[in-house]
Protein backbone atom coordinates (compact mmCIF):
# COMPACT_ATOMS: atom_id res chain seq x y z
CA UNK A 1 0.00 0.00 0.00
CA UNK A 2 1.34 3.45 -0.90
CA UNK A 3 1.86 5.96 1.89
CA UNK A 4 -0.60 8.86 2.03
CA UNK A 5 0.76 12.39 1.79
CA UNK A 6 -1.66 13.76 4.41
CA UNK A 7 -3.03 12.42 7.67
CA UNK A 8 -6.09 10.20 7.31
CA UNK A 9 -8.75 12.83 7.96
CA UNK A 10 -11.38 10.12 8.52
CA UNK A 11 -9.44 8.86 11.54
CA UNK A 12 -8.76 12.29 13.00
CA UNK A 13 -11.71 12.74 15.33
CA UNK A 14 -13.71 15.84 16.13
CA UNK A 15 -12.68 15.40 19.77
CA UNK A 16 -9.01 15.54 18.79
CA UNK A 17 -9.65 18.74 16.89
CA UNK A 18 -11.47 20.23 19.89
CA UNK A 19 -8.67 19.35 22.31
CA UNK A 20 -6.08 20.85 19.97
CA UNK A 21 -7.99 24.11 19.74
CA UNK A 22 -8.27 24.26 23.52
CA UNK A 23 -4.59 23.59 24.16
CA UNK A 24 -2.89 25.59 21.40
CA UNK A 25 -1.86 29.22 21.15
CA UNK A 26 -3.91 30.26 18.11
CA UNK A 27 -3.04 33.22 15.93
CA UNK A 28 -5.14 36.32 16.80
CA UNK A 29 -7.44 35.96 13.80
CA UNK A 30 -8.46 32.45 14.94
CA UNK A 31 -8.78 33.04 18.68
CA UNK A 32 -12.55 33.29 18.23
CA UNK A 33 -12.56 29.52 17.59
CA UNK A 34 -12.13 29.00 21.34
CA UNK A 35 -15.22 31.02 22.19
CA UNK A 36 -18.15 28.85 23.34
CA UNK A 37 -16.21 25.92 21.93
CA UNK A 38 -17.75 23.14 24.03
CA UNK A 39 -21.32 24.05 23.08
CA UNK A 40 -20.51 24.50 19.42
CA UNK A 41 -18.68 21.20 19.15
CA UNK A 42 -21.58 19.38 20.85
CA UNK A 43 -23.81 20.82 18.12
CA UNK A 44 -21.37 19.59 15.46
CA UNK A 45 -21.54 16.07 16.92
CA UNK A 46 -25.34 16.16 16.93
CA UNK A 47 -25.18 17.20 13.27
CA UNK A 48 -23.22 14.01 12.51
CA UNK A 49 -19.73 15.52 12.37
CA UNK A 50 -17.46 12.87 13.89
CA UNK A 51 -14.11 13.50 12.26
CA UNK A 52 -12.05 15.98 10.27
CA UNK A 53 -13.26 14.68 6.92
CA UNK A 54 -16.91 15.00 7.94
CA UNK A 55 -16.25 18.62 8.87
CA UNK A 56 -14.42 19.43 5.63
CA UNK A 57 -17.20 17.84 3.57
CA UNK A 58 -19.96 19.68 5.47
CA UNK A 59 -18.27 23.06 4.98
CA UNK A 60 -16.89 22.43 1.50
CA UNK A 61 -18.30 25.53 -0.16
CA UNK A 62 -20.26 28.68 0.64
CA UNK A 63 -23.65 27.16 -0.14
CA UNK A 64 -23.04 24.12 2.08
CA UNK A 65 -21.76 26.34 4.84
CA UNK A 66 -24.84 28.56 4.73
CA UNK A 67 -27.14 25.52 4.87
CA UNK A 68 -25.15 24.08 7.77
CA UNK A 69 -25.22 27.42 9.58
CA UNK A 70 -29.00 27.64 9.20
CA UNK A 71 -29.48 24.09 10.52
CA UNK A 72 -27.00 24.29 13.38
CA UNK A 73 -27.34 27.88 14.54
CA UNK A 74 -23.56 28.34 14.30
CA UNK A 75 -22.64 31.54 12.47
CA UNK A 76 -21.16 31.49 8.98
CA UNK A 77 -18.25 33.58 10.27
CA UNK A 78 -17.36 30.95 12.86
CA UNK A 79 -17.78 28.10 10.37
CA UNK A 80 -15.55 29.92 7.88
CA UNK A 81 -12.73 30.08 10.41
CA UNK A 82 -13.33 26.47 11.40
CA UNK A 83 -13.10 25.36 7.77
CA UNK A 84 -9.78 27.19 7.38
CA UNK A 85 -8.48 25.51 10.52
CA UNK A 86 -9.62 22.07 9.34
CA UNK A 87 -8.09 22.54 5.89
CA UNK A 88 -4.78 23.60 7.44
CA UNK A 89 -4.38 20.03 8.74
CA UNK A 90 -4.09 18.99 5.08
CA UNK A 91 -1.47 21.46 3.81
CA UNK A 92 -1.16 22.21 0.12
CA UNK A 93 1.87 20.64 -1.57
CA UNK A 94 4.88 22.96 -1.76
CA UNK A 95 6.29 23.86 -5.20
CA UNK A 96 9.80 22.46 -5.33
CA UNK A 97 11.26 25.85 -6.27
CA UNK A 98 10.20 27.20 -2.86
CA UNK A 99 12.76 25.06 -1.05
CA UNK A 100 15.95 27.06 -0.33
CA UNK A 101 19.15 25.76 -1.86
CA UNK A 102 17.70 23.57 -4.61
CA UNK A 103 19.49 23.53 -7.96
CA UNK A 104 17.50 25.13 -10.82
CA UNK A 105 18.90 22.45 -13.11
CA UNK A 106 17.49 19.73 -10.87
CA UNK A 107 14.13 21.49 -10.76
CA UNK A 108 14.04 21.63 -14.56
CA UNK A 109 14.92 17.92 -14.87
CA UNK A 110 12.22 16.93 -12.41
CA UNK A 111 9.68 19.19 -14.11
CA UNK A 112 10.31 17.31 -17.35
CA UNK A 113 9.18 14.18 -15.51
CA UNK A 114 6.03 15.90 -14.28
CA UNK A 115 7.36 16.38 -10.74
CA UNK A 116 6.65 19.95 -9.66
CA UNK A 117 5.79 19.86 -5.96
CA UNK A 118 6.41 18.07 -2.68
CA UNK A 119 3.50 15.69 -3.13
CA UNK A 120 4.66 14.60 -6.55
CA UNK A 121 8.13 13.87 -5.18
CA UNK A 122 6.85 12.18 -2.02
CA UNK A 123 4.70 9.84 -4.09
CA UNK A 124 7.36 9.06 -6.69
CA UNK A 125 10.52 9.02 -4.57
CA UNK A 126 9.32 7.82 -1.19
CA UNK A 127 11.60 4.76 -0.98
CA UNK A 128 15.28 4.12 -1.66
CA UNK A 129 14.34 2.03 -4.68
CA UNK A 130 12.07 4.74 -6.10
CA UNK A 131 14.74 7.40 -5.61
CA UNK A 132 17.39 5.34 -7.39
CA UNK A 133 15.07 4.75 -10.35
CA UNK A 134 14.07 8.41 -10.53
CA UNK A 135 17.71 9.53 -10.32
CA UNK A 136 18.52 7.38 -13.35
CA UNK A 137 15.50 8.59 -15.34
CA UNK A 138 15.77 12.27 -14.46
CA UNK A 139 19.52 12.87 -14.37
CA UNK A 140 19.28 14.34 -10.86
CA UNK A 141 21.99 12.95 -8.60
CA UNK A 142 20.84 10.48 -5.97
CA UNK A 143 22.31 12.72 -3.25
CA UNK A 144 20.34 15.78 -4.39
CA UNK A 145 17.19 13.75 -4.93
CA UNK A 146 17.43 12.23 -1.45
CA UNK A 147 17.76 15.70 0.07
CA UNK A 148 14.79 17.06 -1.85
CA UNK A 149 12.72 13.99 -0.95
CA UNK A 150 13.54 14.63 2.72
CA UNK A 151 12.44 18.24 2.46
CA UNK A 152 9.25 17.13 0.72
CA UNK A 153 8.55 14.64 3.49
CA UNK A 154 9.05 17.20 6.26
CA UNK A 155 6.59 19.75 4.84
CA UNK A 156 3.80 17.23 5.36
CA UNK A 157 3.88 18.18 9.06
CA UNK A 158 1.54 20.91 10.31
CA UNK A 159 3.26 24.29 10.41
CA UNK A 160 6.36 23.14 8.52
CA UNK A 161 6.83 25.26 5.42
CA UNK A 162 9.71 25.12 2.91
CA UNK A 163 12.03 27.34 4.97
CA UNK A 164 11.42 25.51 8.24
CA UNK A 165 11.87 22.16 6.50
CA UNK A 166 15.28 23.36 5.35
CA UNK A 167 16.12 24.42 8.91
CA UNK A 168 15.11 21.00 10.24
CA UNK A 169 17.04 19.23 7.50
CA UNK A 170 20.16 21.26 8.20
CA UNK A 171 20.00 20.30 11.88
CA UNK A 172 20.07 16.62 10.86
CA UNK A 173 16.34 15.87 10.88
CA UNK A 174 15.85 14.45 7.40
CA UNK A 175 12.38 12.89 7.55
CA UNK A 176 9.09 12.71 9.43
CA UNK A 177 10.28 9.40 10.90
CA UNK A 178 13.30 11.14 12.42
CA UNK A 179 11.32 14.21 13.43
CA UNK A 180 8.93 12.26 15.64
CA UNK A 181 11.88 10.70 17.46
CA UNK A 182 12.67 14.07 19.04
CA UNK A 183 10.92 15.92 21.83
CA UNK A 184 9.83 19.54 21.30
CA UNK A 185 12.56 20.63 23.73
CA UNK A 186 15.22 18.75 21.75
CA UNK A 187 14.15 20.29 18.45
CA UNK A 188 14.29 23.79 19.89
CA UNK A 189 17.71 23.06 21.41
CA UNK A 190 19.02 21.73 18.08
CA UNK A 191 17.73 24.81 16.30
CA UNK A 192 19.25 27.28 18.78
CA UNK A 193 22.60 25.49 18.83
CA UNK A 194 22.74 25.25 15.03
CA UNK A 195 21.84 28.86 14.33
CA UNK A 196 23.00 30.53 17.56
CA UNK A 197 19.71 32.35 18.00
CA UNK A 198 16.48 31.91 19.93
CA UNK A 199 13.84 29.82 18.17
CA UNK A 200 10.88 31.82 16.86
CA UNK A 201 8.46 28.97 17.57
CA UNK A 202 7.18 27.81 20.96
CA UNK A 203 7.10 24.49 22.77
CA UNK A 204 3.34 24.37 22.23
CA UNK A 205 3.87 24.87 18.49
CA UNK A 206 6.27 21.94 18.41
CA UNK A 207 4.05 19.72 20.58
CA UNK A 208 1.22 20.18 18.08
CA UNK A 209 3.50 19.79 15.06
CA UNK A 210 4.76 16.46 16.43
CA UNK A 211 1.26 15.27 17.30
CA UNK A 212 0.14 15.72 13.70
CA UNK A 213 3.41 14.27 12.38
CA UNK A 214 2.80 11.07 14.35
CA UNK A 215 -0.52 10.65 12.52
CA UNK A 216 1.21 10.71 9.13
CA UNK A 217 2.16 7.63 7.14
CA UNK A 218 5.87 6.97 7.37
DSSP 3-state of 95: strand
CA distance 61 to 65: 6
Euclidean distance between CA atoms 122 and 150, whole angstroms? 9
Low-confidence ranges of the chain (pLDDT < 70): 1-2
- Are 184 and 157 in contact by the 8 Å Cβ rule? The answer is no
How much is the pLDDT for 122?
A: 95
pTM confidence score: 0.88
| CA distances for 23 relative to 9, 19, 40, 117, 208, angstroms | 20, 6, 17, 32, 9
- Residue 200 has a pLDDT of 81
Write out pLDDT tens, residues 51-63: 999 999 999 999 9
Q: What is the pLDDT of residue 2?
A: 59
CB 146 within 8 A of CB 115: no
Tens-place pLDDT, residues 155-177: 999 989 999 999 999 989 999 99
- The reported pLDDT for the residue numbered 102 is 95
Contact 142, 131 (CB under 8 A): yes
Quick one: pLDDT at residue 218?
81
Q: Exposed, middle or buried: residue 38 (CB in 10 Å: 0-12, 13-18, 19+)?
A: exposed
Amino acid sequence: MNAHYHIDSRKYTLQQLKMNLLSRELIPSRMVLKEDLERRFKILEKMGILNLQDLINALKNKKKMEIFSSSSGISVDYLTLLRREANSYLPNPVPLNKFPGVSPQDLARLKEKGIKNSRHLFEQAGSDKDRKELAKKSGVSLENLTELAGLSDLVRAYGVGPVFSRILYDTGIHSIRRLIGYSPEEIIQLYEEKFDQKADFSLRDMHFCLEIARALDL
